[in-house]
Amino acid sequence: MTEEQEWASLLSEVFDRLTTKHAAITYEFKDLVVAGEKKGPSGPIPTGKVTLNGKLTISTSK
């Protein structure tokens, strides 16, 4: 398992536990850059970039 997969698994577990307890989770982003790339014959090829600013709140009802 790669480090990215380990972090994704850990975050998924935390999110599941918090939402089963009816918690609200707020993520605040300031200049978060998400960039992608894929393998090309002569090295990585950039596929795009997104910059996120703002808040995302996820909540569950009782």
User: How do the domains of the chain map onto residue ranges?
Assistant: 3-59
Q: Are 34 and 49 in contact (CB under 8 A)?
A: yes
Residue 62 has pLDDT above 70, yes or no: no
Tell me the per-residue pLDDT of 12-58, one tens digit each, with 9 for 90 and over. Answer: 888 788 778 778 888 899 998 888 888 889 988 888 888 989 998 87
Q: Are 25 and 18 in contact (CB under 8 A)?
A: yes
Nearest-5° Cα angle at 10, 61 to 30: 75
Helix (H, G, I), strand (E, B) or coil at 44: strand
Q: E strands along 1-62, which residues?
A: 24-40, 43-59
